Amino acid sequence: MADNDKPQKINIGFLGGPVLSARVAPDELTKLRAALESGGWHDLEAVDSTVALDLSKIVYVLVDNEAHRVGFGG
């Protein structure tokens, strides 16, 4: 699997404070971003589930694209 095809961890923040974490394929993240512009409901296909989202309640989408490292380094 190419690096650009690997699922990415995202956190979706909602009005009032709840946060939903999911791992999604890059194309699903693109679909979510496009859907946010039009509003309504959107089915997000995560790696292990499908989540129906009320897009009018989403206040942010955080994408974790930082490479994780273990140990000490400079």
| Tens place of pLDDT per residue across the chain (74 aa) | 456 788 999 999 999 999 999 999 999 999 999 999 999 999 999 999 999 999 999 999 999 976 656 666 65
pLDDT of residue 73: 60
Query: Whose structure tokens read 């009018």?
Result: 56
CB atoms near residue 46 (< 10 Å): 16
Q: What is the Cα–Cα distance from 64 to 12, expressed in whole angstroms? A: 11
Question: Domain count of the chain?
Answer: 1
Q: Please give the residue range of the domain that contains residue 48.
A: 3-59
Residue 54 forms part of a structural domain: yes
Residue 26 forms part of a structural domain: yes
**Cβ distance 43 to 50 under 8 Å?**
yes
Residue 28 phi/psi, 5-degree rounding, is -70, -35
Residue 64 forms part of a structural domain: no
pLDDT of residue 5: 81
Residue 25 forms part of a structural domain: yes
pLDDT of residue 23: 96
Q: Is the pTM of this model over 0.85?
A: no
